[in-house]
Chain A
Amino acid sequence: MEDWPDIDELRERFLNHVFDEQTFSISADSCAGFAVACGELAPCFTDPEHPDFQAPPTFPSTFRTHHHRPPDFPQILGLGMDAGKAVHSYKPIRPEQELTTKTHLHDVYQKTGRSGRMIFVVSRMEVFDAHGELLAAADARQVVRERPTS
């Protein structure tokens, strides 16, 4: 079995501390292009001329961080992979508005399954407008599972 870190210690040390912050804006074309690529049909997501044009709710899942985890977060030995994304949408995100993302570790937990023991690391990116209002939160979940013994 891999020498895995203590989960309670990881939670104590790393949860809820912002480790990545960025300010940027998005273009109408990138919003509409993403919507079309997702198969979206509603004009408010696909037509930049629409009076209520806005980014599709899942668009924040495309925002990137400079750091995936806090700089001093320990390496977890095992087989790592993406374990899914989720977006909580609170208010419309409009093109060209100034956006600020702040990312923190939201959860670290472990579980057991057919494939053995697994550790899940959930980072949450919160998206704010220029007034500091929360527009969305995008969770990125990564799993590391222990290597098969045979």
Chain B
Amino acid sequence: MILDLHAHSIKSDDGRAKVQNYCQWIRAREIPVDGFVLTEHRQFDLESDYSALAEEFGLCILKGSEVETEYGHVLVFGVTKALTEEFDFSDIHLPLARVIEACAKHNAVPVPCHPGRRRVGMTAHIEEYGIPEGVRIVEIYNGGSRGDEDAIAQTMATEQSYLGIGGSDAHIVSHIGRCATRFPAPIASEGELVEALQGDQFEAITYRED
């Protein structure tokens, strides 16, 4: 099972892709992913139901979030309504420790994303704030990375013994599936994704050729 764990739709202020168009693109271009997770910026989309699209295209479409902390941006998988009430998802100054603590309380999984990215990646803030406690997984392949940003992320992951995931960080249709994560077993729900991420049997993959 291969899932792109990091994608944005028009629900995000800078997203330009409709979910249906992601599905059409994956099928038309035979992108080798079985689904994707919508990680909208600074919010959790409680309203949208993509089950009909998922069925029509034979894809797994899940929902998560991307929040902003003093260590940069963090993907959150397994978001529930109760978790959204633990902290303000729109706050760009969230303490990472608080996000990690709330995720632990509500059985969600936090994953610092594009950690090699300037200003909004975890490595940029370690010198100032130190190694954060409670981080277990980071995104080591990000489809929007430039230059050596992924290499910086991978070096940090190796040094800190973090597990790695991949996600496209797609904001436009043609970027979906550029990076992804391979799981050994099928995943059909946010709960199953959380369970898989709480294990260690997954592997970050990239289809980028540059």
Residues of chain A at the chain B interface (Cβ within 8 Å): 109-117, 120
On chain B, the number of residues with a Cβ less than 8 Å from chain A's Cβ atoms is 12
Interface of B toward A, CB cutoff 8 Å: 13, 41-42, 68, 72-73, 90, 92, 117-120
Q: Is the CB of B119 within 8 A of A114?
A: yes
Closest B residue to A141 by CB, please name it: B13
- Indicate if the CB atoms of A109 and B120 lie closer than 8 Å: no
Report which of B13, B72, B118 forms a contact with A109, defined as CB distance below 8 A: B13
A111 with B41: CB separation less than 8 A: yes
| Minimum CB distance partner of B41 in chain A | A111
Residues of chain A with a CB closer than 8 A to B72's CB: 112
B92 touches A114 (CB 8 A): no
Residues of chain A within 8 A (CB-CB) of B41 are 111
Report whether over half of chain B's contact residues are helix, strand or loop; otherwise say mixed. Answer: loop
Do B120 and A112 have beta carbons less than 8 Å apart?
Answer: yes
Query: Which residues of chain B have C-beta atoms less than 8 A from A109's C-beta?
Result: 13, 42, 90
- Interfacial chain B residues near A116, Cβ < 8 Å: 119
Do the beta carbons of B13 and A120 come within 8 Å of each other? yes
The minimal Cβ–Cβ distance linking B182 to chain A, given in whole angstroms, is 28
**A110-B92, A114-B118 known; 7 other A-B pairs, CB under 8 Å?**
A109-B13, A109-B42, A109-B90, A112-B72, A112-B73, A114-B119, A115-B119
CA distance A117 to B68 in the complex (A): 11
Are the C-beta atoms of B120 and A114 separated by less than 8 Å? yes
Interchain CB contact under 8 A, A111 and B68: yes
Most buried by B among A110, A111, A117: A111
In whole angstroms, how far apart are the Cα atoms of A114 and B41 in the complex? 15
A111 and B118 within 8 A (CB): no
Chain B residues positioned under 8 Å from A120 (CB to CB)? 13
A111 near B117 with CB under 8 A, answer no
Report yes or no: B42 in contact with A114, Cβ–Cβ below 8 A: no
Residue ID in chain A nearest B114 by CB atoms: A114
11 sample A-B contacts, Cβ–Cβ < 8 Å, listed by A number: A109-B13, A109-B42, A109-B90, A110-B92, A111-B42, A111-B92, A112-B68, A112-B92, A113-B119, A114-B117, A115-B119
Which residues of A lie under 8 Å from residue B120 when comparing CB positions?
112-114
Min CB distance, B186 to chain A, in Å? 35
Residues on the A chain within 8 Å of B118, using CB: 114
Set of chain A residues within 8 Å of B13, measured between Cβ atoms: 109, 111, 120
Bound CA span A111–B42, Å: 8
